[in-house]
Structure 1
């Protein structure tokens, strides 16, 4: 019995001491060294030593079976542009380039070679130019975050052709145009839309009315016309922020998703009265209809009277608690 125990311990120690059977793929290692060079070999990459294994000692690099699957870089002292060699990391599943204020230029076309990419996070940088329409070729992408950059031009309609996409975050850019009509027919599930703080304008395509969005954030743009297509009693909407646009529709005619938690319609041109159905929304935590053209008595009951008066203020003729009596 002791012999068996000693043998098991011996083989366990031997196994632990053996080097990994997977070392960094040579092509991908060269690609990473080219990426380092393109950023002028900053101190951030001091661990990226050509004599060492990129899968075990290089900061920001993670591998699976010797293939680079995750690349995460963030440093205020990193200067340059995303190099074309990023497309040589063919097994990459997540790319995080975040909080790089000196990362400039466009998203390179070679990024479409990353067919296994699951998460593309290029957040809080200084990237510019249009969001490339060919980004829709990333068919396995689930999470897209391009927020807090300087991107211009329209939202690519090709995003609707990405079957795995769950979240689109392009807020805090300089995007123009309206929401693509193709967003009325996503080939996969309907993603969350974070489009706030851009220069988007025009009407929302009527085709979006058939979608069941969990979260829609359109604040601080210049959208006009009807925004009621995002409402619906049988929808599963949790968060809806249409604030600070120029939407114009009759609120008394909309029906609200029962599970809605956040509803901000402030600073628009919405008219009509507040539907009594609002008192049935038991999970409401954020509510704001101020700075519109609403009239009538605020329905009494539910959670409406728990909100401060400012969320009802600056309307044409709303009255009742917490505003002045009618």
Structure 2
């Protein structure tokens, strides 16, 4: 073939040419990307927003898309972020547009600037955990966002109906604000939703039936919204759900919703939803389930036998129902959290004689008429009857929550409280003057064993407590005066005995 080069017989030469071409292409790409800058109009909009927000840390001497300056600040703390992300592939990699803005936990206040609507290519906008007031700007209705979060602010007004025009939305979070009024039916148009959080607002009206249209949704959180039940049967269409949380419904009750096709479910919370009837057997067959909370409903019947299959479950809350029958031995022996308190189970000779300090809470879980053993502790019985005689009953309660015993002011002694809290536990103070039953865990903290700190700080907090004490997402902390008359504080008895009950806070030697 003369002097012609035969590439087929020169694989090494081919490899060298490939490497040279690849390096040339990559180098060209980096050069083009490095020279690309944010569109001048969008820089102008950023300046307007910075001025309105009082955000002085944006360095306009550096291009927002250059990767220089402080346009994307790294913060190891979860939930804190100040960043902008650009797409520089426009006009043959010569021009950039903003596609993501995150200003999370930046202590920003005032009215949210409507200028965000001028970023035509914006896909993600996250303004979580600030102090914004007013309404979501209606100008945002022109955006084609995929992710929008304004959670944890002080926004108000009706549900922003123009958001329903953003049919590209996959994630929407407006929880932790002051929105009011009904949820508009137009929200059913958001058929691409995968995550929806509307918790902790003041909505009115019924839980919408059109939620069945969100067939792509994986996470649905509707807690503490004041919406009316019942849970619509259309929820059974959401077969991709892995995280469903509904709580605190008003209105009329309903049977357990149809969830038999939820094979991907990991977290199921239906707390205080006015549910009645029995817990379906199929719930115990959901293999991926790790968190089940159906507490504070009107559920009856026995614990389903299929629950023995819930080997992977970390938290099981059946608190505050009307469940009957025997408590399965396997449930009492588990080393993971389970709360069976405040039910109507049948006590048997093989049942516990006392409320242990383990991870299974059985306070007031048995019907008194079924407890025949004199050894059975009164904590097992409904209404926690006080076994002491009148002259041994106590009518005051002073606790130094999370600290050592301390005497203050008028020589009042606050008893120590050094017991580590748990997701489901009962603790009786050695003095036998008080006890507490705790139920609930801190959600979404990436640590299933997380507990609030108890003794680690230099702060001594003395609190006189009665009734219920709740902290951050903790379902309930019931402080029980176990030696009070009838186990509870009665109005007339309190007046007659001069009960010492008040709320107080004492901070000593604190450097915070």
Q: 1:85-126 deviations in whole A, cap 9, x for unaligned?
A: 11111111111112212x1111112222221x2211212222
Q: 1:235-294 deviations in whole A, cap 9, x for unaligned?
A: 432211112x25232125552142222111111111222221211222222111121111
State whether residues 327 and 345 of structure 2, in contact with CA within 8 Å, keep that contact through their aligned partners in structure 1: no
Tell me which residue corresponds to 1:266. 295
How far apart, CA to CA, are the structure 1 residues paired with 2:220 and 2:23? 55
How far apart, CA to CA, are the structure 1 residues paired with 2:251 and 2:267? 18
Aligned pairs for 1:217-232 (under 5 A) are: 217-222=245-250, 224-232=252-260
Tell me which residue corresponds to 1:136. 164
Tell me which residue corresponds to 1:316. 344
Tell me which residue corresponds to 1:283. 312
Q: Which of 107, 113, 120 is 2:148 aligned to?
A: 120
TM-aligned CA distance change 1:75 to 1:236, over 3 Å? closer
Report the aligned-residue RMSD: 3.4
Q: Which has the larger radius of gyration?
A: 2
TM-aligned CA distance change 1:12 to 1:171, over 3 Å? closer
TM-aligned CA distance change 1:231 to 1:71, over 3 Å? same
Aligned pairs for 1:147-296 (under 5 A) are: 147-186=175-214, 188-212=215-239, 213-222=241-250, 224-232=252-260, 235-243=263-271, 245-256=272-283, 257-259=285-287, 260-296=289-325
Q: Which runs of 5+ in 1 are unaligned?
A: none
Q: 1:278-323 deviations in whole A, cap 9, x for unaligned?
A: 112222221111211111112344x564168971121133445466
Q: Which of 35, 52, 65 is 1:38 aligned to?
A: 52
State whether residues 270 and 294 of structure 2, in contact with CA within 8 Å, keep that contact through their aligned partners in structure 1: yes
Structure 1: which 4+ aligned runs deviate by more than 6 Å? 8-19, 307-310
State whether residues 273 and 297 of structure 1, in contact with CA within 8 Å, keep that contact through their aligned partners in structure 2: yes
Alignment of 1:69 onto 2:99: yes
SS of the equivalent of 1:314 reads coil
State whether residues 195 and 219 of structure 1, in contact with CA within 8 Å, keep that contact through their aligned partners in structure 2: yes
How far apart, CA to CA, are the structure 2 residues paired with 1:12 and 1:276? 62
Tell me which residue corresponds to 2:128. 98
How far apart, CA to CA, are the structure 1 residues paired with 2:162 and 2:344? 46
Q: 1:26-81 deviations in whole A, cap 9, x for unaligned?
A: 22222222222332x34344x2x3x6533234623221111011111145542221
SS of the equivalent of 2:186 reads helix
State whether residues 196 and 220 of structure 2, in contact with CA within 8 Å, keep that contact through their aligned partners in structure 1: yes
State whether residues 282 and 306 of structure 2, in contact with CA within 8 Å, keep that contact through their aligned partners in structure 1: yes
TM-aligned CA distance change 1:133 to 1:230, over 3 Å? farther
Tell me which residue corresponds to 2:382. none
TM-score, scaled relative to structure 1: 0.82
Tell me which residue corresponds to 1:27. 41
TM superposition shift of 1:193? 0.9
How far apart, CA to CA, are the structure 2 residues paired with 1:233 and 1:299? 26
TM-aligned CA distance change 1:109 to 1:274, over 3 Å? same
TM-aligned CA distance change 1:180 to 1:35, over 3 Å? same
TM-aligned CA distance change 1:279 to 1:20, over 3 Å? same
State whether residues 76 and 99 of structure 1, in contact with CA within 8 Å, keep that contact through their aligned partners in structure 2: yes
How far apart, CA to CA, are the structure 2 residues paired with 1:203 and 1:319? 33
Tell me which residue corresponds to 1:54. 64
How far apart, CA to CA, are the structure 1 residues paired with 2:198 and 2:312? 28
State whether residues 279 and 304 of structure 2, in contact with CA within 8 Å, keep that contact through their aligned partners in structure 1: yes
How many matched pairs?
315
TM-aligned CA distance change 1:211 to 1:76, over 3 Å? closer
TM superposition shift of 1:132? 1.4
